[in-house]
């Protein structure tokens, strides 16, 4: 990989020189990949290493990794600049793929929620119920406790329905109503059921946030993993470079676009709504701030949704600790596609337009307007790569076998 200075339109001539001196004099790049997050970096890596394609990878930010970017702050504590990123997956293929570029630190995520003056496990579990209600139930009794409150027979359409059907109105109000309103700026009754379905309800003592087969963090951080991923002679990476800076001044055969799809089309059908966040990072002169990596604040009386303390995630030993408060906002970088029925209809119009536009493929969380986790984006990119490989006559099975043999050899 070659990391180059930001590529601005004003540096057009420098760039032409680069093309002629360092690359195919006439041809330029096979792919221009817009966005160096998981979607763009995985595709850049696959296309460069497996198909010998020349890739120009750009990002308007000054770093690789997209929202998963991590770095040492001024105090030397590793933080996630865009909020906590916890890796979890059930997909062996995703795990095998990423393991080519990083070792892993075992980490199971636990979250507490500040409710009624106490900090209790979320997802709601046996401990949550016993602590909140001053009871000493066993699992069977907790199941009966919830059954007496839940409304299992309602038609489950929205995110509100999901929770009410499982735990009833009171627990919904304590844990979900305020948090969801703050996080999304709308009521849970307006959100697709998939949103709160991400958080299960339990009646046992399991207090892990996820139950996936693989739960771990890249041992040297995400950024290090990304740097290794795109470290290939066929890949040139330009940070601080917007698509607009290069689209008309660069030679490439095809674009892979992982930015917001509506932005690419000049919002021609109107803006797709995204939820943004303001991150307030701080470093404290104490080794430990809170009991778990994340503490959620569902109450509407508190403006932030959660506080993250990174040392739980990274295992870093340091006399200080760094934390981040998250404040959801409607303005700012597009972090979350907002899953509502209206937005899905609007997205489908863009999707149709994208399908009719030649020379460009949209992918990733923003390119396909999907509330995807990191592993889902990796799987989506591997699958897109498989289609490209197949179209070039390289069988996906050959590619799979190749990556497996690479893993065995490593
Ligand atoms: P992104 O990471 O958003 O990358 C897209 C990149 O494209 C960006 O860097 C952007 O700067 C660039 N770009 C956009 N437009 C242009 C343009 N015109 N020109 C140049 N560059 C452009 N997932 C998990 O699995 N576990 C978690 O714990 C988790 N926590 C999260 C916490 C937060 C606060 C957020 C916001 C997300 C979280 N996610 C988590 C989801 C995860 O961030 C995404 O699944 C993943 O990062 C998506 O990768 P991507 O490449 O599709 O998009
Ligand atoms: N949620 C909530 N209270 C919580 C945790 C989650 O209301 O304590 C809801 C909220 O709507 C949130 C959704 O469940 O957006 C999904 O939670 P998750 O932790 O998966 O959100 P993410 O990590 O993607 O921000």
The pLDDT tens digits for 196-254 are 999 999 999 999 999 999 999 999 999 999 999 999 999 999 999 999 999 999 999 99
Quick: pLDDT tens for 116-150.
999 999 999 999 999 999 999 999 999 999 999 99
Q: Please give the helix or strand (H or E) that residue 257 lies within, else none.
A: strand 252-257
74: its two tokens? 């001024």
How many angstroms separate the alpha carbon of residue 34 from the centre of ligand 1?
12
Mean pLDDT of 25-39: 87
pLDDT level of residue 12 (50, 70, 90 thresholds): very low
Predicted pLDDT at 395: 78
Q: Which residues, at least 6 apart from 388, have a Cβ–Cβ distance to it below 8 Å?
A: 47, 51
> 242 CB less than 6 Å from ligand 1?
yes
**Residue bearing the CA closest to ligand 2, atom 14:** 196
Closest ligand 2 atom number to CA of residue 183:
15
- Which is nearest to 297 in space by CA: 169, 159, 174? 174
Residue 247: strand, helix, or coil: coil
- The domain locations on the chain are 2-64+230-271+338-409, 70-108+274-336, 111-197
How many angstroms separate the alpha carbon of residue 175 from the centre of ligand 2?
10
Mean pLDDT score of the chain, rounded to an integer?
92
- HSE-up of 137 (CA within 13 Å, CB side)? 22
Do residues 234 and 2 make contact, with C-beta atoms less than 8 angstroms apart? no
Residue 253: strand, helix, or coil: strand
pLDDT level of residue 94 (50, 70, 90 thresholds): very high
How many angstroms separate the alpha carbon of residue 219 from the centre of ligand 2?
26
Predicted pLDDT at 398: 52
Whether pTM > 0.85 for this model: the answer is yes
Predicted pLDDT at 400: 56
> 364 CB less than 6 Å from ligand 1?
yes
Superfamily per CATH, domain 2-64+230-271+338-409: NAD(P)-binding Rossmann-like Domain (3.40.50.720)
Predicted pLDDT at 152: 87
How many angstroms separate the alpha carbon of residue 324 from the centre of ligand 2?
17
Closest ligand 2 atom number to CA of residue 196:
14
How many angstroms separate the alpha carbon of residue 377 from the centre of ligand 1?
9
Proximal ligand: closest to the CA of 174? 2
> 243 CB less than 6 Å from ligand 1?
yes
Mean pLDDT of 31-45: 98
How many angstroms separate the alpha carbon of residue 176 from the centre of ligand 2?
8
Given the candidates 4.10.640, 1.10.3110, 2.60.40, 3.40.50, the CATH classification of the domain at 111-197 is 1.10.3110
- Which is nearest to 231 in space by CA: 30, 410, 22, 64? 64
- Give 408 or 44, the one with higher predicted confidence: 44
Quick: pLDDT tens for 333-374.
999 999 999 999 999 999 999 999 999 999 999 999 999 999
Closest ligand 1 atom number to CA of residue 88:
25
Predicted pLDDT at 21: 31
Whether the pLDDT of residue 27 is over 90: the answer is no
Quick: pLDDT tens for 266-314.
999 999 999 999 999 999 999 999 999 999 999 999 999 999 999 999 9
Predicted pLDDT at 45: 98
> 58 CB less than 6 Å from ligand 1?
yes
Residue 33: strand, helix, or coil: strand
Whether the pLDDT of residue 328 is over 80: the answer is yes
* b/e burial code for range 246-274 (CB count within 10 A of at least 16 → b): beeebebebbbbbbbbbebbeeeeeebbb
Whether the pLDDT of residue 1 is over 70: the answer is no
Mean pLDDT of 317-321: 98
Predicted pLDDT at 5: 53
């Amino acid at each position: 990989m070659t990391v180059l200075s930001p590529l601005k339109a004003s540096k057009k001539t420098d760039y032409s020189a680069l093309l002629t001196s360092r690359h195919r004099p006439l041809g330029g790049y096979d792919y221009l990949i817009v966005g160096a997050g998981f979607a763009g970096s995985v595709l850049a890596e696959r296309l460069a290493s497996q198909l010998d394609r020349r890739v120009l990878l750009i990002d308007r930010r000054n770093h690789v990794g997209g929202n998963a970017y991590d770095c040492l702050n001024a105090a030397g504590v590793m933080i996630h600049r865009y909020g906590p990123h916890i890796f979890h997956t059930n997909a062996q293929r995703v795990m095998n793929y990423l393991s080519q570029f990083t070792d892993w630190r075992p980490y199971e995520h636990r979250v507490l929620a500040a409710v009624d003056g106490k900090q209790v496990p979320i997802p709601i579990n046996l401990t949550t119920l016993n602590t909140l209600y001053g009871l000493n139930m066993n699992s069977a009794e907790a199941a009966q406790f919830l059954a007496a409150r839940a409304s299992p027979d309602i038609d489950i359409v929205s995110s509100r329905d999901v929770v009410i059907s499982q735990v009833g109105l009171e627990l919904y109000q304590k844990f979900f109503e305020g948090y969801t309103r703050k996080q999304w700026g709308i009521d849970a009754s307006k959100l697709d059921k998939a949103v709160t379905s991400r958080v299960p309800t339990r009646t046992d003592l399991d207090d892990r946030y996820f139950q996936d087969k693989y739960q771990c963090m890249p041992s040297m951080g995400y950024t290090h993993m990304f740097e290794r991923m795109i470290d290939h002679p066929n890949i040139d990476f330009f940070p601080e470079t917007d698509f607009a800076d290069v689209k008309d001044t660069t030679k490439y055969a095809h674009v892979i676009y992982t930015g917001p799809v509506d932005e690419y089309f000049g919002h021609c059908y109107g803006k797709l709504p995204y939820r943004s966040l303001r991150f307030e990072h701080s470093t404290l002169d104490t080794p430990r701030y809170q009991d778990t990596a994340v503490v959620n604040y569902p109450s509407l009386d508190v403006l932030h949704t959660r506080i993250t303390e990174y040392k739980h995630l990274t295992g870093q030993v340091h006399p200080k600790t760094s934390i981040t408060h998250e404040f959801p906002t409607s303005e700012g970088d597009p972090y979350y596609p907002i899953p509502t029925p209206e937005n899905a209809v609007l997205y489908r119009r863009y999707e149709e337009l994208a399908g009719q536009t030649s020379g460009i493929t949209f992918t990733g969380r923003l390119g396909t307007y999907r509330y995807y986790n990191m592993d889902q984006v990796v799987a989506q990119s591997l699958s897109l790569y498989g289609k490209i490989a197949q179209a070039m006559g390289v069988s996906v099975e050959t590619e799979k076998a190749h990556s497996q043999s690479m893993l065995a050899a490593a």
